Amino acid sequence: MYGPGVGIVSRGFRGRGRGDDSGRLPPGQYLTDDFPVLSAGPTPHTPIDEWSFTISGGTEPVTWSWKEFRALPSETVTQDIHCVTKWSKFDTDWAGVSVDTLLEHVDYDRAYAVAYSDGGYTTNLPIEDLTGGKAWVAFGYDGEPLEPEHGGPARLLVPHLYFWKSAKWVRGLRLLDEDEPGFWETNGYHNYGDPWREQRYWGD
C-alpha cells in the first residue's frame, strides 16, 4: 500500500495508458505486447530425457516422464497474464495439461501446494487455486514449444494470480496440510498474489 498522501498529482504528468476500457487490466498494471522475463538466476536447461514431473503428498508420489506427461490429455487455452513488475499481456496462447488432469492420478487430502522447479525456485498456492480449470502445466506457447527463458520445457500456468506463481521450469508439486511460503513469498512478495486486489508485496 502507498502511504497517506495517496493521489498527489504529479505536475504535468498526463500519461497515455488510458484506452483500455476492457475491464481486463488489473489496478497498477500496463499493457504490453512484449513478453518480459523475470527470473532470479540463470536459466536451467534440463534435457527432456532427464525431465520428470512428480506430485508428492498423496498416499504415494506419482511421477511422469516427459513422454508420459505428453501422452496425457492436453488443452490449448487463451489467457491474460499479469506480472508483479506491472506488465500485463492479453490473449496469450498456451498448450498444457490441466492440473485437474494430473491430480486425477493422485489420492490426496491436502489444502496447500508448493510448486518446485529446476534451479531451486519454489512458489506456494492453495490447492483450490490449482484446480477447477484454473491451472495448467504448460509446454507450449503461441503454437511452439515453450522457450527455456520463458520456463520451458514446462512451466506452471496460473493466470489468475501474479505470474511469479506460474513457476518456470516446474518439476513437481508438493501437497501439504499447511501453507509454506516459497521463494518470492519469503523475499518481500505477497503470499497469495491476486492482481485484482493488487497483492504485490508483504502488507498488501
Partner 1 sequence: MTETPRVRTLILDVPALVGHRAGQHVDVRLTSEDGYQAERSYSIASAPGQPLALTVERLDDGEVSPYLVDDVVPGDKFELRGPIGGYFVWEPDGATEPIFLVAGGSGIVPLMAMLRLRRDAGSTVPAKLLYSSRTIDDVIYRDELQHIGADVEQTLTRAQPPGWQGYARRVDIQLLRDVAFPPEDNPRVFVCGPTSFVEAVAEGLVALGHRPGRIRTERFGGT
CB of 63 to partner 1, least distance (A): 24
**DSSP code per residue over 57-91:** SSSS-EEEEHHHHHHS--EEEEEEEE-TTSEEEEE
Question: Which residue's CB is nearer to partner 1, number 5 or number 47?
Answer: 5
* 44 vs 140, beta carbon nearer partner 1: 44
Distance CA 44, CA 169 (A): 7
User: Quick one: 133 or 188, whose CB is closer to partner 1?
Assistant: 188
Least spacing, CB of residue 14 vs partner 1, in Å:
5
Q: Shortest approach of partner 1 to residue 51 CB, angstroms? A: 17
CB of 67 or CB of 187, closer to partner 1: 187
Cβ proximity to partner 1, 76 vs 85, nearer residue: 85
Shortest reach from residue 20's CB to partner 1, in Å? 11
Chain residues that interact with partner 1, rule: CB under 8 A: 1-3, 5-18, 28, 30, 32-44, 85-86, 119-120, 147, 149-150, 183-184, 186-188, 201
Nearer to partner 1, 13 or 59 (CB): 13
What is the chain's percent helix, strand, coil content, to nearest 5?
Answer: 15, 30, 55
Q: Which amino acid type is present at position 57? A: G
Parallel, antiparallel, or unpaired: how do β-strands 52-56 and 170-176 relate?
A: parallel
Output the smallest distance, CB 62 to partner 1, in A. 28
* CA-based nearest residue to 55, from 120, 104, 95: 104
Query: Strands, DSSP E only, in 42-163?
Result: 52-56, 62-65, 75-82, 87-98, 112-117, 122-126, 136-141, 144-145, 155-157
- Find how far residue 44's CA is from the centre of its chain: 17
CB of 145 to partner 1, least distance (A): 15
